[in-house]
Amino acid sequence: MEFYILLVSFFIIALIYSSVGFGGGSSYLALLAQPFFLLLPDVIRPTALLCNIIVVTGGTLVFYKQGKVDWKEIWPFLIASVPLALVGGLWKLDKHPFFILLSVTLLVASFLLWIQPEKMNRQGESLKRLEAKIALGGAIGFLSGLVSIGGGIFLSPILHLMNWSEAKKISALASVFILVNSISGLAGQWARGGLHFEIVFILPLLVSVFLGGQIGSRLGAIKFNPIYIKRITALLIFVAALNILKDHL
């Protein structure tokens, strides 16, 4: 019964997150880390990253076909994030520190999602500097590899708050960012000592998020109001984070 709950939940998460350019890593982690599933970090981390990769691959292709992926604007965010995501994936985290760090990360993510503005009024001056883009991407990349969260849930709200560009271009950047950093973080985990999961456990989850992601990435903001989606998501992540934190403090 618990596994069927995971399957349905992962489908819904992938559908909703992909509609706003995310992979859903934060919610996969929040769900997998709930105490009643009794899963270890070595299973949780690669599962979340693989699901991320499946979902945002479709979203990235959709944004690319729409002409929203501008490599001249995107590369500064990736140049430091990819190697640092690899370093984060290489980092071995024991069970207790992992769940504490995950809880804090989810709490911060829920705050950033909630305060994201509805409208953009001006171009963000502070993010015109190349050094700022590289530093921001690198910091989030390292965290994404360490916690296996993808990073888009941090990058996208920050870019919206700083009015970096139009909403569609931010979603496109978030999709590419999540994709490359999820691959890099997964590579780091593999290089550290292999990936720990059973194919009978993860394959149905991958199929579930693939179906949800294909539907969500094509619906996008045409059907869903992204602000409402992000605020509902923020509340759910906040509650899940508190439940994880309560069990591991």
Q: How many CB atoms lie within 10 A of CB 65?
A: 9
> Quick one: angle between helices 2-18 and 41-65, nearest 10?
30
Q: Which residue has the higher pLDDT, 196 or 113?
A: 113
Single-letter amino acid, residue 221: A
Mean pLDDT score across all residues of the chain: 85
First to last CA, the chain: 28
> What is the per-residue burial (b if ≥16 Cβ within 10 Å, else e) of 139-150?
bbbbbbbbbbbb
pLDDT, position 92: 82
Percent of the chain with pLDDT over 90: 33
Question: Comparing 236 with 229, which gets the higher pLDDT?
Answer: 236
pLDDT at 185 over 90: yes
For 63, residues 6+ apart whose C-beta sits below 8 A from its C-beta are 21, 69, 168, 171, 172, 175, 176
What digits encode the pLDDT tens for the residues 21-32? 778 888 899 899
Give CA angle at 157 (49, 125), nearest 5°.
125
Quick one: pLDDT at residue 18?
A: 82
Per residue in 140-180, pLDDT tens? 999 999 998 888 888 988 888 888 888 788 888 988 999 99
* 8 Å CB contact between 177 and 27: no
Predicted confidence at residue 163, as pLDDT, reads: 81
